[in-house]
DNA sequence: CGACTTCTTGAGGAGACTCAAGGGTGGTGG
DNA sequence: CCACCACCCTTGAGTCTCCTCAAGAAGTCG
């Protein structure tokens, strides 16, 4: 299950060959375990490594003027953490552990080898980043144009969809270890208002959100409320390079000419 | 100048070798010219090509329930258009021409060759996408946590910064062909409120925004107001593969095994 | 010149915020 | 074992930002 989750994001866009499977397994270094509340990487830190979330929940957030913060995204197992920071000298976001977590460390030279040795894997990684961009675009649309109730429902539906990808057997109850303060930081609201709106959602029988898990009572009604298109992933696009032949070293490694 | 703008986003992350320059020039196909207001690609269209903006301004937007829309981003020359859609079966956003524009069409097989033949270029393209993600993250933070005045100022500063990259000699006056309705769609506000807040910014001597251009009167004060970190790009990261040797065809093309 | 879009300004209303108080829960230490 | 503290959730009252509706001025294109 652990190793399956590590590849689920990749294989959504195309099958992995032996060479890719091998390199993907080598990509991830030692596993590190952290406790709830720990900071995995802070804003301003050097961007010298990536993380692959193995189990547990983490979140990425940006501090804004005056002690507040905007939470950008909640991560589920299989997500790669810290990638946007590669473009910057210093990390743009803080990554915190929402629960006890296990993550693999990915060193950057391994990423360089991925681009040289398995162009197919590089293209799939590129597509994962495009998917992340679309998710951020939808978030911009929601934050810019939706009221509090729609924002909260959109949040639940998004997390439900992503949770189902890791565990297709999961039903309408999903674990979601967020305090209402964290939910407010995600939705761009205040904790007080989150409490009120969740109360209304509960009262109308649409969903119930205890401290640790959400139960979706009326999925169709919720989808209706949010009214965002379904965003089907592009599986197996024709332009993606085919699996590389199994022998290595057709290209020089990045450390030797 | 045209060809310089086409490479400026790439070379921000590392120098381009001869092989990369060649492939990058071959990447872009025929130039297409469109008029102000034309739709380059609509939401739901097939995602079978990309565009490289040569001159003029375009914007990407998402329709939201009830006739409204959220504008995601304004593009300047040198930006690649349509990339997020690669991950989806149908385009998630509508790309419209804000002015008369010229753009090169990039067919997807050329993108596949880029990943196979020039891993360095692929890695740079990957980094451009990460930069776009960071810009979207900052936008999420602004929309989630900032009031109307800060949103507008953040918008101006972002566009000013990106405009300077193409024309380092540009001063504090930048062309910005957006109606107040478009500004409202960008900032997640209503046109009425945009008019009011721009009036206040003008009254306080911070900036003036006519229909076609913005003049920044007090840059330090505006930066102070927004208070987002500076986001220095990571130039020439060590993990990026070196330039490929000039001969081609070390890897099979994607059309032959 | 007329039709259209754009910008401005006013008045009233709604959604979300602030401040504040009270109850519940979990963890810590005496 | 219990007292205490810290955090979390809830609910109320008042305020403010931003929205809606509306009308008029200014500019643009056919």
- Measured between CB atoms, does A229 come within 8 Å of chain B? yes
Task: Report the half-sphere exposure of A245 (CA within 13 A, side-chain side).
Answer: 11
Question: Which residue, counting CA atoms, is nearest to the C1' of nucleotide D19?
Answer: B190
- Measured between CB atoms, does B126 come within 8 Å of chain A? yes
Closest CA to A80 of A46, A106, A100: A106
CB B147 within 8 A of CB B195: no
- A244: buried, middle or exposed (CB in 10 Å: 19+, 13-18, 0-12)? buried
> Which positions in strand C are less than 7 Å from the protein's CB atoms?
5-11, 15-20
pLDDT at B255 over 90: no
- Measured between CB atoms, does B146 come within 8 Å of chain A? yes
Distance CA A164, CA A198 (A): 23
- Predicted local confidence at residue A22, as pLDDT: 84
- Predicted local confidence at residue A255, as pLDDT: 47
Query: Could you read off the pLDDT of B207-232 as tens digits, one per residue?
Result: 999 888 999 999 999 999 998 888 99
Which nucleotide lies nearest residue A196, CA to C1'? D10
Over range B26-31, report the average pLDDT. Answer: 87
Q: Which of A189-198, B26-35, B83-92, B111-120 has the lowest mean pLDDT?
A: B26-35
- Predicted local confidence at residue A245, as pLDDT: 62
| pTM passes above 0.85 | yes
- Measured between CB atoms, does A252 come within 8 Å of chain B? yes
- DSSP, residue by residue, B147-196: -HHHHHHHHHHHHHHHHHHH-TT--SEEE----HHHHHHHHTS-HHHHHH
Distance CA B215, CA B179 (A): 16
Rg from Cα positions in chain B: 19
- Predicted local confidence at residue B222, as pLDDT: 95
Task: Report the half-sphere exposure of B88 (CA within 13 A, side-chain side).
Answer: 22
Over range B64-73, report the average pLDDT. Answer: 90
- Predicted local confidence at residue A157, as pLDDT: 96
The residues pairing with B63 across neighbouring beta strands, listed in sequence order, are B69
The residues pairing with A174 across neighbouring beta strands, listed in sequence order, are A214
Most A CBs within 10 Å, among B91, B115, B247, to test the A interface = B115
Is there contact between A48 and strand D, defined as CB under 7 Å from any strand atom?
no
DSSP structural state of residue B204 = T
Query: Could you read off the pLDDT of B171-213 as tens digits, one per residue?
Result: 899 999 999 999 999 999 999 999 999 999 999 999 999 888 9
Q: B49-55 and B207-209 as β-strands: parallel, antiparallel, unpaired?
A: unpaired
CB B59 within 8 A of CB B51: no
* pLDDT tens digit at each of 257 positions of chain A: 455 677 889 999 988 888 888 888 888 889 999 999 999 999 999 999 999 999 999 999 999 987 899 999 999 999 999 999 999 999 999 999 999 999 999 999 999 999 999 999 999 999 999 999 999 999 999 999 999 999 999 999 999 999 999 888 888 999 999 999 999 999 999 999 999 999 999 999 999 998 889 999 999 999 999 988 889 999 978 999 998 665 444 444 444 43
- DSSP, residue by residue, chain A: -HHHHHHHHHHTSS---HHHHHHHHHH---EEEE-TT-EEE-TT-B--EEEEEEES-EEEEEE-SSS-EEEEEEE-TT-EESGGGGGBSB-SSEEEESS-EEEEEEEHHHHHHHHHH-HHHHHHHHHHHHHHHHHHHHHHHHHHH--HHHHHHHHHHHHHHHHHHH-TT--SEEE----HHHHHHHHTS-HHHHHHHHHHHHHTTSEEE-SSEEEES-HHHHHHHH------B--S-TTSPPPPPS---SS--TT--
Closest CA to A163 of A59, A57, A83, A61: A57
pLDDT at B256 over 50: no
Distance CA B35, CA B57 (A): 11
């Amino acid at each position: 299950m652990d190793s399956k989750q590590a590849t689920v994001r990749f294989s959504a866009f195309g099958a992995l060959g032996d060479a890719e499977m091998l390199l993907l397994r080598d990509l991830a270094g030692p596993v590190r375990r952290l406790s709830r509340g720990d900071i995995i990487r802070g804003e301003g830190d050097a961007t010298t490594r990536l993380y692959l979330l193995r189990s547990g929940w983490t979140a990425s957030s940006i501090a804004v003027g005056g002690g507040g913060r905007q939470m950008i995204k909640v991560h589920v197992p299989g997500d790669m953490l810290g990638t946007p920071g590669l473009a910057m000298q210093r990390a743009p976001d803080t990554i915190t552990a929402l629960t006890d977590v296990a993550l693999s460390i990915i060193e950057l030279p391994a990423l360089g080898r991925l681009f040289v040795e398995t162009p197919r894997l590089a293209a799939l990684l590129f597509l994962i980043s495009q998917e992340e961009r679309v998710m951020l675009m939808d978030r911009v649309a929601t934050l810019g144009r939706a009221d509090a109730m729609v924002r909260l429902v959109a949040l639940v539906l998004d997390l439900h969809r992503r949770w189902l990808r890791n565990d297709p057997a999961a039903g309408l109850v999903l674990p979601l270890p967020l305090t209402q303060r964290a939910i407010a930081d995600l939705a761009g609201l205040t904790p007080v208002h989150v409490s009120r709106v969740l109360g209304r959602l509960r009262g109308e029988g649409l969903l119930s959100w205890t401290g640790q898990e959400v139960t979706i009572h009326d999925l169709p009604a919720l989808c209706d409320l949010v009214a965002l298109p379904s965003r089907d992933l592009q599986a197996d696009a024709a332009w993606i390079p085919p699996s590389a032949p199994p022998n290595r070293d057709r290209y020089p490694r990045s450390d030797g000419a």
